[in-house]
Amino acid sequence: MSDAPLLRIEGLTKHFHLPGGRVVHAVEDVNLAIDRGHIVGLVGESGSGKTTVGRTLLRLTEPTAGRMIFDGTDVFALSARDMRVWRRRLQIIFQDPYSSLDPRLTIAAIIDEALDTRGLPKGRARRDRIAELLELVGLAADHATRYPHQFSGGQRQRIGIARALAVEPDFIVADEPVSALDVSVQAQVLNLLEDLRRRLNLTMLFISHDLSVVEYACDEIVVMYLGRIMEKGPSRALRADPLHPYTKALLASAPQPDPTRVRTHVPLAGDIPSPISPPSGCVFRTRCPIAIAACATRIPPTRDLGGGRSVACLRVGEGADHPPFEMEAHA
Amino acid sequence: MSAAAPATMPTSGGEIDGLAEGVVLAVTDLETHFPSRRGVAKAVDGVTFTLPRGRTVAVVGESGSGKSVTSLSIMGLIAPPGHVAGGRILHRDRKGVVRDLAKLSNAGFRHIRGPEIAMIFQEPMTSLNPLMRVGDQIGEMIALHERISRRALRARVIELLQLVEIPEPETRIDAYPHQMSGGMRQRVMIAMALACRPNLLIADEPTTALDVTIQAQILALLRRLQADLGMSVLFITHNLGVVAEIAHEVVVMYAGRVVEQAPVGDLFARPSHPYTRALLASTPNIARDIDAEGRRRPLAAIPGAVPPITALPPGCAFAPRCAHVLDACREGRPGLVAIAPDHVTRCIRRDLP
Ligand SMILES: Nc1ncnc2c1ncn2[C@@H]1O[C@H](COP(=O)(O)OP(=O)(O)OP(=O)(O)O)[C@@H](O)[C@H]1O
Ligand SMILES: Nc1ncnc2c1ncn2[C@@H]1O[C@H](COP(=O)(O)OP(=O)(O)OP(=O)(O)O)[C@@H](O)[C@H]1O
Ligand code: SF4
Ligand code: SF4
Ligand SMILES: [Mg+2]
Ligand SMILES: [Mg+2]
């Protein structure tokens, strides 16, 4: 673990402007630091702003406000020209291995395109590098001459990973990288990512809606709701002792492969509200089982709890124990 | 064939005996084929399972294993040139009449689909009409099967919306699908399926597209409806966690075949088939896969990928990926063997620990 984080995001905000003057508050004042060699998981319900965070970090979507200090540089302040040089240091792996690869290109050509930005001369060295990359992700060098449709979903995701690694990025955003895969194949790709992280000291933001995948794959977990961070902390601590009512509900909602567990309560009622008119105060208050009057008027400040943990809830740490989250009983 | 006769006439064709008491549906050696210029795709190629009355049976399997084709075959909804090429689908209706749905005509199915068996389809947006108010869509289902006044119909729809726990049903009845969240739309789909009070509900991945929080809500709803209405449910999913939450019994499919059926407790405690075991082992489980120092153990991934159904290996379809494969596995196709009174498996090895 290094002293200074590889990247630090401060006050990241993204508003999308819709026709008619309406504004989507997709991301609101997100602060986050990621250490080199760490995989940070980003979880939250659909529409909570996970993809938008990932895309703005790569400036695939321009942020509305905020800074990202990456290795000492404010990336959001870079000119379009400087950004082009920077882009190769930041890569993204997409959810859908089917649509993210150009069907008309061979695997060699797909990776070759990525290597262009690296300035590696064409010829022998490139061919060797392509073979090396394919091997790195568990494919064979002779796969290079084939087309995407000749591969299975898991293999295509490996190709997407090889493409992202081709330029030796410092940081990778993986947006639901295993969500489209079957469990047996998902396990192969998770093993590959862990193996690569160890060998290449990769730093990654891992976006997923599957908590068991995030708990397994990530060192830290960030929980988002309606554009804001509710809680973050090391995976194990967060799982063992979730503090924010939303984190508790998410963990309790995840189905467990254990039929002796009998669920007696639904952890969270209702739906996530529209980000066009998010609730005042704490955005979670309309579904929060322990909300109080103050939650409607005050935006909960993020409190640093030490040990890498922080939480944004007015009622956490107020002393009194909250109504227990009785969610299950054992048969 | 006289299957067009009303279902109330126990003498009409397509009826047979041989369905054990207390069983609503028994599928035996079902084969569903899709011919094409490049050959026949055997999407379902040996599906055998039983659904006891008033129970929930989950069908679990990876993408392409034939789960949806199995349920569409039961509903008689396989579009030509696809067809049921073999096997039996014995169904007992609410009057006790047993029919082989594999041989039922389209006209015969008119009395089955809706009042006897209803289905929630995998793609919710393709089964809801975006231009029609949700209440009208539910009402249409009812009006298809009974004569009812407009006022009574509206009352029935509101009752159904209440049943699926949609808040403010008197207002929501007039909403369009796009005005609802994914969870609310899924509740509407369930209301539509329940409109004619079926005694068998087939739910094809009804929670796969939903967030875990909403999934927990829908699973709780389906559990309650199943118990309150005494329905039998065939629940299709690829998620073993969901299986553990909803099912009484589990059917595991691989490459168009059923490889194991067992009560849910047995399946998780004593999985028998190597594929079932491998599937359980490859699902991340923090207690098992992360050691005391917080280090990850590699997941027990299954090597390779599911073979395309047009190129299945001879013998056991799982053989190319199986850690316990023997030469004999590649020769003959293993049959389903009972290893306990209500636990069957399709594997030749009886000697695995
Ligand atoms: N280009 C856009 N224009 C307008 N609104 C957008 C745009 N992109 C995203 N949004 C909105 O911003 C919010 C956050 O979306 P985002 O895709 O980041 O969520 P997410 O957490 O990744 O969700 P999911 O789990 O469904 O992928 C949503 O309400 C979404 O509809
Ligand atoms: N109309 C069709 N024509 C030809 N092949 C088909 C047709 N419908 C399904 N198949 C094939 O049959 C096989 C089984 O498909 P099915 O949809 O039943 O899988 P599934 O288990 O429901 O998968 P998923 O989990 O992805 O929904 C697949 O290989 C599929 O490509
Ligand atoms: S601040 Fe209030 S509404 Fe928000 S999570 Fe805490 S208790 Fe609930
Ligand atoms: S029959 Fe053979 S190959 Fe098939 S699952 Fe059993 S041991 Fe494995
Ligand atoms: Mg997203
Ligand atoms: Mg399906």
Domain that holds residue A89: 7-255
pTM: 0.91
Model confidence pLDDT, tens digit, residues B317-337: 999 999 999 999 999 999 999
Distance CA A111, CA A163 (A): 5
Distance CA A127, CA A295 (A): 59
Task: Give yes or no for B265 touching A (CB within 8 A).
Answer: yes
- Report yes or no on A328 lying in a domain: no
**Count of domains for chain A:** 1
Distance CA A102, CA A112 (A): 13
- Report yes or no on A281 lying in a domain: no
- Report yes or no on A179 lying in a domain: yes
Distance CA A75, CA A60 (A): 12
Q: Per the structure block, which two tokens stand in for A212?
A: 């068991």
For ligand 1, say whether the CB of A48 is within 6 Å of any of its atoms.
yes
* Contact indicator for B25, B234 with CB cutoff of 8 Å: yes
CA of B61 to the centre of ligand 6 (A): 9
- Report yes or no on A170 lying in a domain: yes
- Report yes or no on A125 lying in a domain: yes
- Report yes or no on A71 lying in a domain: yes
According to DSSP H, which parts of chain B are helical? 67-74, 106-109, 124-127, 134-145, 150-163, 169-172, 182-194, 212-229, 240-246, 264-269, 274-282, 286-289
Look up the CATH number of the domain holding residue A111. 3.40.50.300
Instruction: Give this complex's ipTM.
Output: 0.88
- Report yes or no on A297 lying in a domain: no
Best B212, B219, B245, B296 member to test A by mutation, with max A CBs in 10 Å, is B212
Taking the CB of residue A295, how many other CB atoms lie within 10 A of it?
Answer: 22
Model confidence pLDDT, tens digit, residues B91-130: 999 999 999 999 999 999 998 999 999 999 887 667 789 9
* Contact indicator for A218, A197 with CB cutoff of 8 Å: no
Per-residue pLDDT of chain A in tens (331 residues, 90 and over written 9): 446 899 999 999 999 999 999 999 999 999 999 999 999 999 999 999 999 999 999 999 999 999 999 999 999 999 999 998 888 899 999 877 778 889 999 999 999 988 887 677 778 888 888 998 898 888 888 889 999 988 878 888 889 999 988 888 999 999 999 888 888 888 988 998 888 888 889 999 999 988 889 999 999 999 999 999 999 999 999 999 999 999 999 999 999 889 998 888 899 999 999 999 999 999 999 999 999 999 999 999 999 999 999 999 999 977 555 544 444 444 4
* Cβ-based contacts under 8 A for chains A and B: 133
Rounded to a whole number of angstroms, the distance from the CA of B62 to the nearest CA of chain A is 6
Which residue matches tokens 């008619």? Answer: A20
